[in-house]
Structure 1
Amino acid sequence: MKEWAAGMALAWAAMDAAQASTIVDYALLRPEGRRHYLVVEPDRLARDNRPTVILLHGHGASAAFMVGLASFGTYRSQDWIRLAERERVMLIAPDGIKGSDGKQAWNDCRLDAASNATSDDVGFIAALIDTAVNELGADPERIYVYGSSNGGGMAYRLGIELAPRLAAIGVQSALMAMQTRCRAPAHPISVFASHGTADEIAPYNGGRVGHWLLRDRGSGISAEESVAVWRRLAGLPETPLSFRMPHLQSSDPTSATRYVWGNDPARVQIQFMRIDGGGHTASSKVEELPWILRKIVGNMNHDVDTAEEAWNFFKDKRVNGPR
């Protein structure tokens, strides 16, 4: 059952005054209590058959951060809402539930992540998809999930448990679980992933997740092996097409390379963005992390926009498209 959460409608003014979005705060009643989520509806968005991206925040972050309404320290990310306004995509950003450390989190597959939430988040997202299709005009053929960090781990879990309902998943700075509570993936699905080689929170080569500010976060396999799990499931060849992205800023110490397995965008594909020298953060051509946040998460790449890369990968995928 869906209900209003204080009936709050928020008008969002983009940098380009000709474009805007309405952001509405809803709640969904679940066995664990009331679950909040934000819905972003750009101007001129179709009434029905709306392509929809579900955005899952990282550990300690929020739905409001994912759609640019809240900051992390002094950093406010607006890449997804700018993309939604330009491409006329509906965004749905749910909130996780607080774990044992008091921070909002998701119940991803990591068996050894003691500070994760313990809620039925797969059931919550499944119910959210039902609501999106039945009440918000979402196109059931074009439901995509994108998550960062702990939200990326949750996206991997949804790829395992809800794959037949999803056109594709996207993961930024997250690893498949080393000690897992989930079964192995069994349904091929298109996967986009991006990971920095200098990520010290979710180590590129796998191992213990977290740092001095983030404890009890479990462990993961390497970023490359996380992608390879899905590539092998899809029966795609070992050798990818690769493209080194043009370097746009001489002061940027990072670089980006795109790897793609599968040559038909309408079929199952796997795409991996390796960010050499990149930290535990998305890439952006126009945004920059404040210095204090760079000390915590590492360097941001400025050769690509992670949101753009994910959407360009998603947009041709369909739930019942050719496999």
Structure 2
Amino acid sequence: MEPASMTRRAIVLSAVLSCIGLPPLFVLVNAASFYSVNRTNGTIVTSAGQTREYILYVPKSYDRTKPSPLVISMHGAENWPSFQMNLSQWNQLADERGFIVVYPAGEGGGPKTWHMRGEGTRMPNVIFISELIDKLEASYNIDPARIYANGLSNGGGMTFALSCTLSHRIAAFGPVAAAVTLPVDWCPDPRPAPMIAFHGTGDRFAPYNGAKVWLAPEPFPSIPEWTANWARRNRCSPTPVESAAAPDVTRLEYTDCADDASVVLYTINGGGHTWPGGPPLPEWLVGPTSRSIDATSLMWAFFRQHPLRRK
């Protein structure tokens, strides 16, 4: 493990690089400077001809004789797997609950991004995730009914893409502060996909009510409308159940869905482009990080309730 000060410094730098448009040379120089923190521990050559990287975390409690759940957690744009690992803190929960976590890297020579190019299951990033699952299943005793995907920002957008292309392999999905660039009607897979989302009303980079922002070529969707569209895809009851999860957090759940594929949205009042319950990021840049709820723990509880339904 890296020293806490170095890890903290890397988190702050990653947040800055992922949210502001810096000259590419500056980004690359800083990426090289923080190589020791942002290193990966695994590679794979995909059938699309790409060499891709990832960080794999296997808890000490892993028992080869027992099938283990797998959590796939994806970073935001212009970022690194190590940032997502430190921010989401999935490793700590994996130690407690005994599952494996993988943090795949997007595309790029320095900081990485999840590019939404290609057709459906032939998207290079979808091929990467699918073949990464294959590789991990060949090396570890992965429970095929308990594979889950989540991500922050651009990684949340990639989470949506996976729900549309790999819902026959991935059981449930957890986008956080999702920066979604694909239209809702892009989704080629009608299979109901359980989803739990988290989004702050003060998010300036992926606005809660939808808007065109300078860092994206297309407007981002309204998160409440996007969630409702996901619920329609899952054939849920059209009227969600609203409750207070905390003084500053509202929970909205769509129930009576096909295949029990419920859809949940946690709205953080005033929350920024952050991971609720994670280490605080520079508030002047990305806004407040809520401490009222822990997205990782809530996500895992939701995942446990939604194993993959075989057709």
Say which of 257, 274, 287 aligns to 1:281.
274
Tell me whether 1:296 sits opposite 2:288 in the alignment: no
TM-score by length of 1: 0.76
Q: What residue is the counterpart of 1:84 in the other structure?
A: 94
**AA matched with 2:98:** R
1:166-181 → structure 2 map (5 Å cutoff) = 166-177=170-181
Deviation at 1:58, TM superposition (A): 0.3
The answer to whether the 8 Å contact 1:178/1:219 transfers is no
Match of 1:71 in 2: none
Letter in 1 for 2:108: K
Match for 2:305 among 303, 313, 316? 316
SS of the equivalent of 1:301 reads: coil
Report the Cα offset of residue 136 of structure 1: 2.1
- Tell me if 1:231 matches 2:231: yes
Q: TM-score, normalised by structure 2?
A: 0.79
Gaps of 5+ in 1: 1-9, 14-22, 69-76, 112-117, 248-254
- Deviation by residue 1:230-261 (Cα, 9 ceiling, x = unmatched): 101111112222221234xxxxxxx1111112
Alignment of 1:28-107 (within 5 A): 28-30=44-46, 31-47=48-64, 48-68=66-86, 77=87, 79-98=89-108, 103-107=111-115
Match 1:25 to one of 41, 62, 66: 41
Maintained 8 Å contact 1:185/1:233: no
Distance 1:164 1:320, change over 3 A: same
Q: Quick one: distance in 1 between partners of 2:40 and 2:57?
A: 7
Alignment partners' CA distance in 2, 1:104 and 1:11 = 21
- The residue aligned with 1:187 is 191
Structure 2 CA distance for partners of 1:145 and 1:85, relative to 1, 3 Å:
same
The equivalent residue for 1:156 is 160
The answer to whether the Cα contact below 8 Å between 2:74 and 2:105 also exists between their aligned partners in 1 is yes
Unpaired runs of at least 5, structure 2: 5-38
Write the deviation string for residues 47-88 of structure 1: whole angstroms up to 9, x where unpaired.
2411110011000121111222xxxxxxxx252221111111
Which residue does the alignment assign to 2:128?
Answer: 124
Aligned residues of 1:110 and 1:178 also touching (Cα < 8 A): no
Instruction: Report what 2:262 is aligned to.
Output: 269
Q: Quick one: structure 1 residues 93 and 246, their matched pair in 2 at CA, closer, same or farther if it must change by over 3 Å?
A: same
Cα distance between partner residues in 2 of 1:40 and 1:123: 21
Per-residue CA deviations over 1:140-196 (Å, capped at 9, x if unaligned) read: 110100011000000100101111111101100114436579345521110111111
CA 62–97 in structure 1, closer or farther in 2 if over 3 Å, else same: same
TM alignment of 1:187-266, pairs within 5 A: 187-209=191-213, 211=214, 215-247=215-247, 255-262=248-255
1: CA distance between counterparts of 2:59 and 2:98?
6
Q: Which structure carries more strand by proportion?
A: 1
Name the % identity. 29
Question: Which one-letter code corresponds to 1:43 in the other structure?
Answer: K
Tell me the number of residue pairs that the alignment of Structure 1 and Structure 2 aligns: 273
